[in-house]
Amino acid sequence: MPTPGNQMLIEERRQHILALAHEHGRVLISDLSRDLGISRITIRKDLEHLQAKGALLRTHGGALLPSNGTIADPSLKQKAARHSQEKQRIAAAAVTFVREGQCVLLDSGTTTMAIATALKKFHNLTILTNALNIAAELSGTDFDVILTGGSLRKNSVSLVGPLAEDVLRDMHADVLFLGVDGFDLEVGLTTPNVMESRVNRAMVKASKTVIAVCDSTKFNRRSFSKIVDATAIHHVITDTNLPDEMAEAMRALDIKVTLV
């Protein structure tokens, strides 16, 4: 039995909270308040302190372990600094599969942002996206740019929720470029956020051709929320650091693989 919260030293209580997070993968404010017998305001302050130290990642109603690869949800700014050269090569290859007059669906993310920039060499495209930064990037072009609508998810500057999903159900795109946080042949394609995964799934259903665009570090990784099975993907564009056995396994599933 832990010492009641009101009898613990502050640092002792915070270490106890951190130990629970390591044991269960997350902690909830309501549970901590009840079990430790202290106010939710005090628990929130503890969680904010632990987040400032990089020990926990605050979420609505609790906190998660940031070091857990299945739940880590880095911001767009953090992602932009990672594997930038690979993303530029992936983008250059991606746009070779686009033709004038097509409707191109772009998921939110830094790789798809690079694709959006590379698409500027075209003149007649319809761009459908849930990413505010991509819409802004293409606002000076002659493209027809359509935003899905929905609720803003600030971490990814993307629109999610039922409104976005409803819009996508009525749309038909020639090609979808889908960025993912995890690509595992058993689990499928995954992302840290449940709302984002639902929108991504609707994007896949709305598209004639689905092309996953991600650097090689995303393979054999599992994030928190599943988007679709690997077999729902037609084509993968990634960098040349992808292990040969992974490339062959995807080809065995009739997934085209382009290495850049």
Q: Which tokens sit at 255?
A: 């997934």
Q: According to the model, what pLDDT value does residue 37 have? A: 92
Helices (H), 95-206: 110-118, 132-137, 162-169, 194-205
pLDDT for 21 equals 80
Reported as a single tens digit per residue, the pLDDT across 131-177 is 999 999 999 999 999 999 999 998 889 999 999 999 999 999 999 99
For residues 50 and 14, give the distance between their C-alpha atoms in angstroms, rounded to a whole number: 8
Q: Quick count: other Cβ atoms within 10 Å of Cβ 171?
A: 17
Res 55: pLDDT: 76
Query: Does the pTM of the predicted model rise above 0.95?
Result: no
161 contacts: CB under 8 Å, gap ≥ 6:
150, 151, 195, 199
Per-residue pLDDT, 75: 56
Domains of the chain: 5-64 (1.10.10.10), 77-259 (3.40.50.1360)
Neighbours of 98 (CB within 10 A): 19
Give the Cα-Cα-Cα angle 21, 27, 32 (nearest 5 degrees): 115
Give me the average pLDDT of each 10-residue run along the chain (260 residues).
58 86 81 93 92 78 66 57 82 98 96 97 98 96 97 91 96 97 91 91 98 92 88 97 93 97
